[in-house]
Structure 1
Amino acid sequence: MHDALPTSDGATGPVDADPVDADPVDADPVDAGPTDAGPTDAGPADDGPADDHHVAGSADVVWEPPRRGGPFREGDRVQLTDPKGRRYTVVLQAGGAYHTHRGQIDHDDIIGSPEGGLVHSAANTPYLTMRPRLADYVLSMPRGAQVIYPKDSAQILMWGDVFPGARVLEAGAGSGALTCSLLQAVGPTGKVISYEVRDDHAPHAVTNVETFFGHRPPHWELTVGDVRQHRGEVDRVVLDMLSPWDVLDTVRDCLVPGGILVGYVATTTQLSVLTEALREMQCWTEPESWEAMVRPWHVVGLAVRPEHRMIAHTAFLLTTRRLADGVTPPRQQRRPTGR
């Protein structure tokens, strides 16, 4: 059965973003990571295939990436930064106004002005005007599932070698944070095929992706269902789910030889089970795993020191590559444990 999810026409995106969430430097490391239950961008996939609801990209939409430069236009998102560094995201509307505790800011004062300028509130408080980055959008987007944060999505794109024109299979669309990064990386000649088993999470992904790009990207397909139903060749696979080892047979069958699998798991137990499952299949290179930690620095003149808070553990990342059919990986030589 194929039922379309409601679109998010008229969505305005994150408004009045929490200054803490909007600033990666000030992000609370406690709130920044998934819980011990595992990353929640996807629900468990070990209950068998669910009824699938296919939500295809709009074939009649001409791909246009989000506007990156030039004067602000009506409908653009603008990020206002006050003198204390707090950031607020607003969607510009002719005749509209944004109300702050420092006075009203008229949208018409921003529309037509260059990016990187200043706008003053009614109380003459200056606000810097910039278009929000994807990282800013991710940190302030409405969410149903925990998002993959910029520090991890950057690792996924780099070590997953996601290239323009790539066909990427994503298991666990969640709130659409990583989906936006993947769609931007593969471009209009590529394709992102997302699966989400939670029908209460999928609408958040649709809304957030459409809001960021301004429409439903034609090179995105979202299916509410189990990734094990997927058929078709892909170049890259990203698994953000509770039990990724349950879908490895499907991944093996779909991924081209030399293709890269990226796993995103929250706990050491998940990391261990996934790694050993890959080794047992004898069709993957030796898995590599790591975590990314970001420590901002305070720099004022010669007062240079680490910030008191850092963005520490959110999840473990794992990569491996698909071997050609019939090839057995060489036995890994490990240094013997010393006495």
Structure 2
Amino acid sequence: MRRGPLGAGEKVQFTDRRGKKITDQIVEGGSTQTEHGLILHDDVIGGSEGMVVTTVSAKREAQTDPLHPERDAGKPWKAARAIGGWQYAVMRPRLADYVLSMPRGAQIMYPKDIAQVIQLGDIRSGHHVLESGAGSGAMSVNLLDAVGQAGSLTTIELRPDFARVAEANATLYYGERPSWWNLLTGDFDTVAATLPDHHFDRIVLDMLDPWNRLDQAWRAIAPGGVLVAYITTITQMSRMAEALRESGHWTEPAVQETLERSWKVQGLAVRPDHQMIGHTGFLVVCRAMAEGFDALKKRDRPAKDTVTDVDDLTAEEREAQLEDLELRDISDRKLRKVLRDLDRQVSSLAR
């Protein structure tokens, strides 16, 4: 964690009185463009977190395209950017702020999901973690922070260009490339096959088809290790859960999603914000069984069929299945009462 004066090359977060945040790298002689003028980096370098900086007026002609000035005609915000005198508080960004503001090659995981991965995956200092799918590096940076230099992170990314994006974002966050990170490129099964058996304490999968990677994942993880898969759709989640059960190498999967809603708190005006971060993905969590031992399976009631496709049944079989599938949760007596009441109301309407 960095403390002390802000130095050139650092990422800094500027926040105005309306709560609008801008994250930028400060460099000598540089500036950050805002809606209210320029923040001069030389005014920030050498200063302290918590200071307030004031924007200066930009030249109006710099806000328009010199070759095609007609394109900027009638755009009042172009002139508004030239206005100075707007104040911003200066802070080093939190990790969550950095993740949301960093350049992206692929869609990132939201902080709410990352926090749950680390908590439910029990990822702590000293652990050896295997990650599949670096993307833009949001999860990787958090995993590196969680395991620390006492542990290690091995990341397998299919696309070399995504790996470069993730590596650059991690390097910018730490100020140098983390030495405890082994970033590999290639297909997960091919690369994972070169890794030692039962070496990793935790595995995090963020990929399209994690159910096809379970054999190599189980070979690489230590008995009792935790597997966490981040999956975006219901069909993927269902397929992953069934594959885990079918393999016999993993405990009963736990599935959850996290919703995030912020609140407005101003005097007596206390209410939820109109917008929230709803569904972003599912987390499927389970643990690895030891060799020679099959996972214990939950027993379903014999009368409850959750496998047969209802479209494959005859009309008679489909009717018989209604009670077994728990689709009818109202007694015959209650149903007759409801129908009598509705008949009475419809009759009254007709009269």
TM range, smaller chain: 0.7 to 0.9
Distance 1:169 1:209 in 2: 17
Q: State the aligned residue count.
A: 273
Cα drift, residue 144 of structure 1: 1.4
Counterpart amino acid of residue 108 in structure 2: V
1:89 alignment counterpart: 23
Mapped partners of 2:138, 2:169: distance in 1: 8
Structure 1 pair 199–111 and aligned structure 2 pair: CA distance change class (3 A): closer
**Inter-partner Cα distance in structure 2 for 1:91 and 1:311:** 27
- Name the residue aligned to 1:152: 113
Secondary structure in 1 matching 2:208: coil
* Change in CA separation of 1:275 and 1:109 when aligned onto 2, cut-off 3 Å: same
1:107 alignment partner, one of 24, 41, 52: 41
Residue 161 (structure 1) shift: 0.6
Q: Which residue of the other structure, out of 187, 191, 196, is the alignment partner of 2:148?
A: 187
Query: In structure 1, what residue type is equivalent to 2:175?
Result: G
2:236 matches 1:270? yes
Question: What is aligned with 1:138?
Answer: 99
Greater C-alpha Rg: 2
The structure, 1 or 2, with the larger RCO (C-alpha pairs under 8 Å, 6+ apart) is: 1
Matches of residues 27-176 of structure 1 in structure 2 within 5 Å?
A: 66-67=1-2, 69-122=3-56, 123-176=84-137
In the alignment, is residue 260 of structure 1 matched against residue 194 of structure 2?
A: no
Paired with 2:27 and 2:161, the residues of 1 have a C-alpha distance of 30
**CA contact under 8 A between 2:13 and 2:92: conserved in structure 1?**
yes
Instruction: Give the CA deviation at 1:313.
Output: 0.6
TM-score by length of 2: 0.74
Deviates more, 1:199-208 or 1:215-224: 199-208
Helix, strand or coil at the partner of 1:261:
strand
Question: For 2:158, which of 194, 197, 204 is the aligned residue?
Answer: 197
**Structure 2: distance between partners of 1:96 and 1:207:** 21
For 2:286 and 2:48, locate their aligned partners in 1 and report how far apart those are by CA, in whole Å.
Answer: 45
Unmatched tracts of structure 1, length 5 or more: 1-65
- Larger mean CA deviation between 79-88 and 233-242 belongs to 79-88
Q: CA deviation at 1:142?
A: 1.3
The correspondence for 1:318, drawn from 250, 259, 284, is 284
1:221-271: CA deviations, max 9, x gaps?
111101213222101001111111111000111110110000111111111
Matched AA of 1:305? R
RMSD, matched Cα: 1.6
- In 2: Cα distance, 1:203 partner to 1:105 partner: 30
Contact preservation (8 Å) 2:17, 2:87: yes
Q: Give 3-state SS (helix, strand or coil) of 1:201's partner.
A: helix
What secondary structure, in the 3-state scheme, does the structure 2 residue paired with 1:200 have? helix
User: What CA distance in whole angstroms lies between the structure 2 residues aligned with 1:265 and 1:99?
Assistant: 37
Q: CA offset at residue 330 of structure 1? A: 2.4
Give distance in 2, aligned partners of 1:317 and 1:310.
19
Q: Counterpart of 1:307?
A: 273
SS of the residue corresponding to residue 264 of structure 2 reads strand
Code of the aligned partner of 1:159: L
1:7-22 equivalent positions in 2, closer than 5 A: none
Aligned residue identity for 1:136: D
Give the secondary-structure state (helix, strand or coil) at the position aligned to 2:161: coil
Aligned to 2:331: none
2:77 corresponds to: none
The amino acid across from 2:269 in the alignment is A
Aligned match for 2:173, one of 212, 215, 222: 212
Aligned with 2:160: secondary structure?
coil
Q: Deviations over 1:174-220 (max 9, x none)?
A: 11110000001100011110111123322211221111112211111
Corresponding residue for 1:279? Answer: 245
Q: Among all aligned residue pairs of Structure 1 and Structure 2, give the percentage whose two residues are the same amino acid.
A: 48
- Other-structure match for 1:296: 262
Contact 2:252 2:297 in 1 (8 A): no
State whether residues 155 and 182 of structure 2, in contact with CA within 8 Å, keep that contact through their aligned partners in structure 1: yes
Which residue number in structure 2 is paired with residue 45 of structure 1? none
Q: Deviations over 1:101-154 (max 9, x none)?
A: 423332232222221121122333211001111111111211111111111101
Show the counterpart of 1:244.
210
Give 1:334 deviation, angstroms: 4.4
Q: Which residue of 2 aligns with 1:48?
A: none
CA distance in 1, matches of 2:294, 2:34: 63
